[in-house]
Structure 1
Amino acid sequence: MKSTFQSDVIDVVLQIPKGRVTSYGAIAKFLGHTRGARMVGWVMNNCVKINEERNIKIPAHRVVNRNGLLTGRHHFETPTKMQELLETENIKVENDQIQDFESIFWNPQTELL
């Protein structure tokens, strides 16, 4: 059975609009776990399994670290898949880092309240 935290993380990630990104820490803070960024990362790392269980498509590629780095890229089908998915949403990535990160950052604290 899934934890409430896992379900809550997925619910937030499903609300990130195309062309926007957020961070592990921003999701954790929104959920009341100010030091839970790593736990959010673990949920994102399990998205393939969760997608199969729930028959949904979680846009895990829209969740990056606090500096806009694609730290989760190795958990995708290929190391370049995360960047490819972001680029299909017109998000520019150079050297595994999102460009103009501040302007496309989606903060659940302000967007979902």
Structure 2
Amino acid sequence: MELSKGALAGITVAVILIVGAIAYWLTRPSFGEISGKGYDYAMALGSACNGKDEAKIAKITQMIDQSTQDGELQSYEADWLKGIAQQANDGKWEQAYASVRTLMQEQTQPANPLPELD
């Protein structure tokens, strides 16, 4: 069965769109910007995950809940952080630590270029 040029072009466009959508999905940020308090909790979670410290994870989760109630953390930040804590609670220590690293990397901002010094 031979395909017409139009059908072949349509298939090509569809494949390009699918590949593009997959590439976008794989490279999109997992987390958004977090507050200073959220960053501190992420650092603490990273340390607890690295040490596989279940008691520390439980304490940090309680602190996250309290900070959310006190209005120091946005609910979406708490959700991200508690999701990482849940990975650790499920015994997925490396995955949790990788999530912390991803969250931290996504906080970096490109530096402004230096002015011309000449």
TM-score, scaled relative to structure 2: 0.30
User: Would you tell me which structure has more helix in proportion to its own residues?
Assistant: 2
Higher alpha-carbon Rg = 2
Structure that is richer in strand per residue? 1
